[in-house]
Every structure is written in structure tokens, then in C-alpha cells.
Structure 1
Amino acid sequence: MEYKKVAFNFKDIQEYQHDILIAELAEIGFDTFEDTANGFDAFIIANQFKETALNEVLIGFGDELQYTYEVIAIEPQNWNEEWEKNFSPLIINEDCYVRATFHEHHPQYKYEIVIDPKMAFGTGHHQTTTMMMLYILEADMQDKVVLDMGAGTGILGILASKRGAKEIVAIDNDEVCYRSAIENATLNEITNLTSLCGSKETIPSVDFDIILANINRNILLDQISSYASVLKEKGTIFFSGFYEDPDLDMIKAHCAKFNLTYVDHKKIGDWVAAQFLKG
């Protein structure tokens, strides 16, 4: 598969700007990012690259960023080999072990998850995924019907299943993620996870006990009404993919319009995950 690389160089960029830009680039098809000395490289499948879409994202930052970028066609590579070099096993809360197929099995952990991410987001290493996994480890998942929005590799739904969830619907608008969730569910012998490709319009008319949504602030604000419409009374939503200031207050205010009450939140670095209860 042929890829293009967009090599960004910044005069100065704050961590929060770096993370927001990457999140917005992911929304237009970029699926891999590598930090460099003066910025980062963003990769996208060649036939999905549209420079007009890239410039629309950059224009949104106004004068906040001073940057240059170069678009480079890159030779086909063994992408699995590339991420294998950088994917190390992860332990969460001392009882959840996340590894790839080429890592050693460690049966002493209560929950072991095998993930082959390929080009899909979600190995547990990013702060947002880690916090969502911590919430899943704390919550009562037994016999719950769970919706996982922006599912990526399917890691959150897989953990929910291992924690006793009865049924998981995993939705992502990226074809690679959709297929990745299916493959990873099979790797983990999970038979109660259904992977769907799409966005809020793909959410089935099911009463969900728990909703997981690790996306970004703007998409969450757009989709909260859809989540609320399929969440049972007293059901729980766990959100992540945004910052404490100003994002959390914006999400609290919007959730209140749909009878979703703030419970608490977690924070790692600049990132936040939050829990809301319906009713």
C-alpha cells in the first residue's frame, strides 16, 4: 500500500496544540504519527490524501501556529514491522496486561489482551485509552450491553467482554479500525463483540447499559444526543479524548441538556476521561 508523509516543522508548538492537531488530522484520514526533532510526521494512504482538507485543518488554528510542511511520497514498507519495533507490553492497574502476538504470554494477570493494532488506534498506551480501561476495570460490567464508539482496535470492548459484559457493539468510521476490531476480538476469543463501520448513524436501536466514547471534543459534542437516546435510564457513559480546560466544562454543559449528570473524571497529563450518569 502506498503512503504519503506530511513532515511538519514548527517554530513553537505547545503539547495541547500538538495533540489537538494530531486528533484533527486523524479525522481526515491520517493514521500514523511519528515525533521528530522539530515537529512530527503524519502518514496517510496516498489515494486518501487531499491537500485542501489538510489546509482546512491548519487554517482552523489561525495564527496560533507557525509551521512549514512538506508532502513526501514514501516507498511501500512493512508497516507491521515498523510498529512492532515500538509496541511494548503494557500493564494497567496491576491486573490487566496488554501485549501483541509476538510478546510472551503472562498468565499471572487477571486480564490479558492481545492486540495487533496495525494502522488502527488503540493499544492502551495513549493516556485516553489507559483512563478508559481504568474506568472499565472499576465499573460493574457483568451482563451489561455496551456501545464502544470510536472503537479503534476494539481494545475497550474486548476488556469489557473479559469483565463480564453480555454484548458489545464496537463502531468506528475507519475501515481499517472496523476490520482490526474483528481480528482482535478473534485473537482474544471474544464472541460477543459486533464490529460496525460508520458513525452515529450506525448506532443500532438497542438499549445500552454502558457507552464508551474515546474520540475528541468536537465529535463528542456532536454525538452526545445520539448516545443519550440509546442509553438506559441510570446507564453510564465514559468519555475521553479531550482536555480539562476548557473541554470538560463544555461537555458537562452539553450533557446536562440530555439528562446526563457528571459523576467524576480522571486526568493523566493534559488528557481527561469523565463519567456521566443518565437520570
Structure 2
Amino acid sequence: MPWLQLRLNATADTAEKVGDLMSACGALSVTFLDSKDNPVFEPMPGETRLWGETDVMGLWDAEADMDIVVSYLQMHGGLTKGQRYKLEPLEDKDWEREWMDNFHPMQFGERLWICPSWRDAPAADAVNVILDPGLAFGTGTHPTTALCLQWLDSLDLTDKTVVDFGCGSGILAVAALKLGAKSAIGIDIDPQAILASRDNAERNGVSDKLSLYLPDEQPADLKADVVVANILAGPLRELAPLICRLPLPGGHLALSGVLESQAEEVASAYQSHINLDPICQKEEWARISGIAK
């Protein structure tokens, strides 16, 4: 099916209004794109954060009368007189096939590979985790997940218990089990994440070793040899007293989901309980790790 895309520039004050107007006049989807590569991180719950210079893109059926759409936007203040906009056809593609073609097996550390189910594992004797991109809970493509996977690969997890705090897709817990951990515990505030983690554990044949909890259901005396928390800087700071209680003395802890500029502040919340390693960086992201005192 062919499509038409209308693209125009807006500001943080006007972008949401423009998007609403596009939807009101028949846009099948509306996308906000940072036009100056200036991302905003950690929006407050329920808050829509928009960039200072934002391209708003609406998508219509190719048979839509775009003159009517443009007139509607001009009439209601979504498009000012003389403001430039771009109207372009989009090629009709097999989007699902193209999406699948973009995902390849990825290696983390020396042994660990994350593989989509539709591709062959590159090394049968490696540690292969089968995980498909789906809900945005973590597939290994983001630097913070990569930092955590590399860290897990560097440890001897034989007979160890691992806590994945903020488990999302379960990728870290499943990887730890495939790397030799005796058992893993996944904790997340989102019931959908619990379901995703359970599905991925079953797909990888480790569901019998993985326990999953919402925060108010987790055991009060929970302890583990290895703890990894890939969430965000704000929650990591706020939850530091809770997270510091999870590793056994001498146990390993890793924290990510942290921007390089936030790492020192987050690390300071843990240094009284954790002997910290040098902060590890990947692109603009960081991993904080250490040994529990």
C-alpha cells in the first residue's frame, strides 16, 4: 500500500499541537523526530518531552487529498503562512521483512551471542541466547545492555545466583543462566516485562531456573552472588539502599542505564557499600560495577 508523508518543523511549544492537528485530519500515524540531534533523557512519568527543534511527520494513505490537510493545518495554526513543509511519497515495502533483515547475531564478550530466532547461530559451541526484537525491553542493541552482557560474560557464573533488577525482556537473566548460573531472579515493575522474561526463558530452555517477581512480591530476604540493574540514573540513585542489600558479601554488582555525565553521581550513592571498579563507558553511556563489602 503506498503512503504519503507530510513533514514540517516545529518547536517544543508547538509540536504536540501540530501532531494533534495531523491526527484530527486523518493521519494514520504521527512521529516526532529530533531535527538537531539533541535527545532528552528520563522524562517524568506521564510527561511528553519534545525537543527544541522537532520535525513532525504525519502519514496518510496515498489517495488522501493533501491540499485539504495543508489547508486544515494552516487554518488551525499548525502551519503558519510561508512556513515550508515537505510532502513525499513513501515506497511500499515489505516492512516486516526489511525490519527482520536489520537484525543479526551480536557477540558480547568472548563467549556470548544474542541471536534472532530467524537466523542461524554463528557458533554452535558458543553461548547462544535466542531473543527476538519485540517490546522495547532490551534486545542487546542498546549500549547499556551491551555493557551488562559483556560484564556477565567476563564473570565465572558457575553455581552462582543472579538477580536481574529491572529485568525487562529477561535478556540479562537468561544470558546469565546460559553462561552457567545456577539460578536467576528477575524483578520488574511492569507485568508485561514479567511475561516477556518468562517467554524468553522458555524459548531458551532455562525457565525452570528463573523466578520472576513484581517488586511487592519479591522475597524480603533476597540475596544473590551477582546483581545487575540496567534501569535509569534516577531510580538507581533512589533505590541504592535497596539494591545494595541484594549482593552477598563479596558478591558482584553492576549498574547501567546511566549516561556518562551521570555516572559519578550514581556511583557516589553506592561507594559506602561497594568497592567500585573504574567506570566503563560505551558511546555516551556508562556501567558502574564493583564488589560488595
Q: TM-score range by the shorter chain?
A: 0.7 to 0.9
The equivalent of 1:169 in structure 2 is 185
Say whether residues 1:130 and 2:146 are aligned partners: yes
Q: Distance in 2 between matches of 1:249 and 1:128?
A: 16
Give the Å deviation of 1:136: 0.5
Q: Residues 1-279 of structure 1 correspond to what in structure 2 (within 5 A)?
A: 7-14=31-38, 17-18=39-40, 20=41, 23-24=42-43, 28=45, 53-55=46-48, 57=49, 65-68=51-54, 83-190=99-206, 191-196=208-213, 198-199=214-215, 201-204=216-219, 205-245=221-261, 247-257=262-272, 259-279=273-293
3-state SS in 1 of match to 2:211: strand
3-state SS in 2 of match to 1:264: coil
For residues 224-279 of structure 1, the C-alpha deviation after alignment (integer angstroms, 9 at most, x for no partner) is: 1111123211122101111222x11111211124x122122321111111212221
Give the Å deviation of 1:12: 2.6
3-state SS in 1 of match to 2:239: helix
Q: Distance in 2 between matches of 1:74 and 1:231?
A: 52
Unmatched segments (≥5 aa) in structure 2: 1-27, 62-93
Q: Distance in 2 between matches of 1:101 and 1:156?
A: 17
Give yes or no for contact 1:120–1:180 (8 Å, CA) kept in 2.
no
Q: Distance in 1 between matches of 2:109 and 2:292?
A: 27
Q: Distance in 1 between matches of 2:192 and 2:97?
A: 17
Q: Distance in 2 between matches of 1:260 and 1:145?
A: 18
Over 6 Å off, 4+ runs: 71-75, 78-82
**Alpha-carbon spacing, 1:102–1:162, altered in 2? closer, same or farther (3 Å):** same
Q: State the identity %.
A: 23
Unmatched segments (≥5 aa) in structure 1: 29-52, 59-64
Q: Distance in 1 between matches of 2:47 and 2:101?
A: 29
Give yes or no for contact 1:98–1:113 (8 Å, CA) kept in 2.
yes
Give the Å deviation of 1:215: 0.7
Give the Å deviation of 1:94: 4.4
In our comparison, the structure showing a higher alpha carbon Rg is 2
More helix as a share of residues: 1
Q: Which segment drifts farther, 174-183 or 100-109?
A: 100-109
Give yes or no for contact 2:35–2:55 (8 Å, CA) kept in 1.
no
Give yes or no for contact 1:168–1:193 (8 Å, CA) kept in 2.
yes
Q: Distance in 2 between matches of 1:68 and 1:194?
A: 43
Q: Distance in 1 between matches of 2:218 and 2:97?
A: 34
Give yes or no for contact 1:89–1:100 (8 Å, CA) kept in 2.
yes
Q: Distance in 2 between matches of 1:109 and 1:82?
A: 29
| Aligned CA-pair RMSD | 2.8
With the length of structure 2 as denominator, give the TM-score of the two structures. Answer: 0.70
